[in-house]
Amino acid sequence: MTELPTRFHDWFAARGWHVHPHQQEMLDRADAASLLLIAPTGGGKTLAGFLPTLAELAEGGHQGLHTLYISPLKALAADIRRNLGTPIADMDLPVRVEDRTGDTSSHVKRRQRADPPHILLTTPESLALMLSYEDAPRIFAGLKRVIVDEIHALSESKRGDQLMLALARLQTLVPGLRRVGLSATVEDPEGIGRFLARHPDPCEIIHADPGPDPDISMLQTDEAPPWSGGGGKYAIPAVLDQVRRHRTTLIFHNTRAQAEIFFHELWLANEDALPIGIHHGSLAREQREKIEAAMVRGDLRAIVCTGSLDLGIDWGDVDLVIQIGAPKNVKRLVQRIGRANHRYNAPSKALLVPANRFEIVECVAALQAVRERDLDGDPRGPGPRDVLCQHILISAAAGPFDADDLYAEVTSAGAYAGLSRAAFDDCLDFVATGGYALRAYDRWQRLVQRDGQWQLRDPRASRRIRMNIGTIQDSDLLKVKMRGRGGAPLGEIEEGFAATLTPGDTFLMGGRVVRYESLREMTVEVTRRADKPPKIATFMGTKFATSTQLSQRILSMFRQDGWPELPGHTAEWLALQRDRSKLPEADRLLIESFPHDGREHTCVYGFAGRNAMQTLGLLLTARMEEMGLHPMGFVSTDYAVLIWGLDRLEDPAPLFQAENLRNAFETWLAGNAVMKRTFKASAVIAGLVDRTASPGQRKTGKQATFSADILYDTLRRYDPDHLMLQITREEALKGLVDFGRIEEMLARTSGRIDHVTLPRVTPLAAPLFLEAGRVPVEGAATERLLEEEAERLMETAGLDTLEPAPSRWRVPY
């Protein structure tokens, strides 16, 4: 137990503050080996985390590092340093605080290793890097506490797995280390506790007062939402009206592309020229910082944003959060709502804007869940093995290690507690020898065993290991800047999108229409000349699937006799569906077949989330192709997949037999583009291929390294059981393929299929016809498209006439 020194009480009193109960409790239980604080946004969480540290350091006398603070955001580390500076200066505490991130200069980093501050603020990647140095034991000697901020966010990604392996290492270096986690409201605090604590030790959990219920409702608009789509454009007048009536509004979108379009439309309608900005992860840092600074000064009335503002700096002035599009996930919605009204004990105010008719139902279901404090979330799976491979490399860079010791250390991280010795040894073998069926590298092993200790064969390899540390996926991005010397950087677009642009094309960037002029040294140069309708840039960024729990709520709403909680037009729509066909049920699978526009259509209401429904569409069309039903394409949403083709599906039952579906899945999966993308990400993390230099750093005239796709194909051909292919499969199943949700759908409906055959389109299926993202079913289509395009281009260029012979010519062997 840590007593708060008198000068702290005086400091609080001088500011008219008092110590919150949860802050006092953090002090009382400061000796706990693991301590997790669950508090809503604005609950003084960070100060609660640091109070015990400041109290312990207040008397002076501590030498070296005392507390390590880890946050997912670099910006947050810098922000905390400023915030801690106030009490430390006011109370004249003998405490030195510094941050250390990718932005810290190398000479400061060197000095920090030689003479660490009392409190070091850093990120998971920078910590992993520090642990890769031989002098790590000296840097961390004397460390007492580690504070993991926003642990709920970190626990959802591989960055969290890497961090927990790093904490396991730290605990070996400093056995008395105490772990503290700070989390927003989550559905499973015990799960986060197991993630944080040293396995199998318990984690103490403190719940702060969750505060009053949020004031949350659906935005009333004069115009009804459209039948499909995701933009929320119809709501712009109502949104502007709300912005006018509040001090500061955050307008959240689910994707960056939607944020860009909405922002553009908003400005076209913004007759009062209200100061409104945009903020998302693909904008240049300079642009984002400008917006953040304007926000802090109170210069902005609204910010159109994405998940990039889910975490971070507290902005006290926000009094309204608007969520455009169904929230997909109740937990994230609650965390977003918390960003309004950071004053503790004031209710947060939020409005939901369904983007289309079906999302009205989803929004109402989400509102109910928020009111009942029923949060969703999937249990964490076991720790990924690509991250483990990187951790083994990091350990080797730090010095020789014993495999038994490392195995014991790794399994003390909650996520890896269930890791078998055999699975660990596979990873170690992969790191040491490549793990290939063909033992080719006996002379050139990366790790060799000397006197029972594993170590790098060539110590110079440690440099390459350090350069590749981290688990964040970089896609190939190109910088965008205004043309001319010293033109302002605007942000980044995907290389693939840039390749679709020709000079003169326009696109949206930071809410402005810009014109593509040229590609210069791998930087896209643009001007302001907006003389064409803009193309929509594609951004990497996750598209979230509607959570299982939210889907279940929607299905239970369908069981009601009537829907007084829904707007009239929506309730009538559902009633009409019930009248004409059926409404989907949780324990049955509704499938409708009907002709439309000369094609046979089949609609499957699987309610398994967009990723799984997309996978289901691919699998079903592949099976229908085999059955000779000539499917031509499909489109999927979070709740259904609509397939069209030449022949009517008479009996869907065989299609949905779990065994058939699983077999089709295995065949389909191996050759899928999703697998290649997943392989690339895992291969970088596991240290098989280097993190590529971003295209902007590539020198002209120099070839890029060959693509990871080639490695994937080579492994599949010659070494199909290789560890990297096993890891790829595990990761793909969890992520984009989401086959788990298809399994869940099959288990829940268990062969109970309602196949309804109708003469025409049903009310519930109708919006799917307007949905974007139709996927054509094709075989050799790429070759055919390529041929057409080549002919078209040659013709356009007038080159076809120069051709001495037909452009296709069979070689007469």
Which residues within the stretch 569-588 sit at the binding site for other proteins (CB under 8 A)? none
Q: Give the interface segment with other proteins, choosing from 121-129, 225-233, 542-550, 699-707 (CB under 8 A).
A: 699-707
Smaller CB separation from other proteins, 269 or 710: 710
Strand partners, 486: none
Q: Which tokens is 583 given?
A: 């409404």
Q: How far is the CB of 589 from other proteins (least distance, A)?
A: 32
* Out of 266, 460, 493, 619, the residue judged to bind other proteins by CB under 8 A: 460
Q: What are phi and psi of 92, to 5 degrees?
A: 55, 50
Beta strand pairing call for 453-456 and 447-450? antiparallel
Smaller CB separation from other proteins, 6 or 796: 796
- Mask of contacts with other proteins, 417-436, x by CB under 8 A? ----------------xx-x
CB count within 10 Å of CB 274 equals 15
Q: Give the interface segment with other proteins, choosing from 137-145, 273-281, 628-636, 713-721 (CB under 8 A).
A: 713-721
Which residues within the stretch 768-797 sit at the binding site for other proteins (CB under 8 A)? 782-783, 785-787, 789-790, 793-794, 796-797
705 binds other proteins per the rule CB under 8 A = yes
Smaller CB separation from other proteins, 13 or 799: 799
Strands (E), 368-505: 447-450, 453-456, 477-482, 489-494
Locus of tokens 């920078």: 126
Smaller CB separation from other proteins, 255 or 581: 255
Q: Determine whether 153 is exposed, middle or buried from the number of CB atoms within 10 Å of its CB (0-12, 13-18, 19+).
A: buried
Q: Of 545, 638, 639, 546, which is closest to residue 585 (Cα–Cα)? A: 639
Displacement of CA 363 from its chain's centroid (Å): 22
Q: How far is the CB of 806 from other proteins (least distance, A)?
A: 9
**DSSP label of 283:** B
440 binds other proteins per the rule CB under 8 A = yes
Cα(577)–Cα(83) distance, integer angstroms:
56
808 binds other proteins per the rule CB under 8 A = yes
Dihedral (CA of 681, 685, 687, 690) sign: positive
Q: How large is the greatest C-alpha to C-alpha distance in the chain, in angstroms?
A: 96
Cα(273)–Cα(37) distance, integer angstroms:
42
Displacement of CA 576 from its chain's centroid (Å): 38
Q: How far is the CB of 717 from other proteins (least distance, A)?
A: 7
Q: Give the interface segment with other proteins, choosing from 83-91, 228-236, 451-459, 479-487 (CB under 8 A).
A: 451-459
Smaller CB separation from other proteins, 294 or 519: 519
* Out of 690, 720, 750, 760, the residue judged to bind other proteins by CB under 8 A: 690
Q: Of 532, 498, 494, 496, which is closest to residue 513 (Cα–Cα)? A: 532
Smaller CB separation from other proteins, 75 or 461: 461
Which residues within the stretch 715-744 sit at the binding site for other proteins (CB under 8 A)? 715, 717-719, 722
Residues 732, 678 contacting (CB under 8 angstroms): yes
Which residues within the stretch 517-556 sit at the binding site for other proteins (CB under 8 A)? 518-520
Residues 338, 267 contacting (CB under 8 angstroms): no
Locus of tokens 């030195």: 96
407 binds other proteins per the rule CB under 8 A = no
Q: How far is the CB of 714 from other proteins (least distance, A)?
A: 5
Q: Determine whether 356 is exposed, middle or buried from the number of CB atoms within 10 Å of its CB (0-12, 13-18, 19+).
A: buried
714 binds other proteins per the rule CB under 8 A = yes
Smaller CB separation from other proteins, 149 or 386: 386
With CB under 8 A as the rule, give the number of residues binding other proteins. Answer: 64
CB count within 10 Å of CB 403 equals 17
Q: Which tokens is 40 given?
A: 């809503």
Smaller CB separation from other proteins, 96 or 716: 716
Q: How far is the CB of 688 from other proteins (least distance, A)?
A: 6
CB count within 10 Å of CB 778 equals 13
401 binds other proteins per the rule CB under 8 A = no
Smaller CB separation from other proteins, 65 or 257: 257
Q: Which tokens is 594 given?
A: 């009907």
Smaller CB separation from other proteins, 715 or 777: 715
156 binds other proteins per the rule CB under 8 A = no
804 binds other proteins per the rule CB under 8 A = yes
321 binds other proteins per the rule CB under 8 A = no
Q: Alpha-carbon Rg of the chain, whole angstroms?
A: 28
Residues 21, 189 contacting (CB under 8 angstroms): no
Q: How far is the CB of 472 from other proteins (least distance, A)?
A: 20
Local structure of 618: helix, strand or coil? helix
Q: How far is the CB of 660 from other proteins (least distance, A)?
A: 29
Q: How far is the CB of 261 from other proteins (least distance, A)?
A: 17
Helices 723-734, 739-749: axis angle to 10 degrees equals 60
Q: Which residues bind other proteins (CB under 8 A)?
A: 433-434, 436, 438, 440-441, 443-444, 446, 456-458, 460-461, 464, 496, 499-500, 503, 518-520, 687-690, 700-707, 710-711, 714-715, 717-719, 722, 782-783, 785-787, 789-790, 793-794, 796-797, 799, 803-805, 807-813
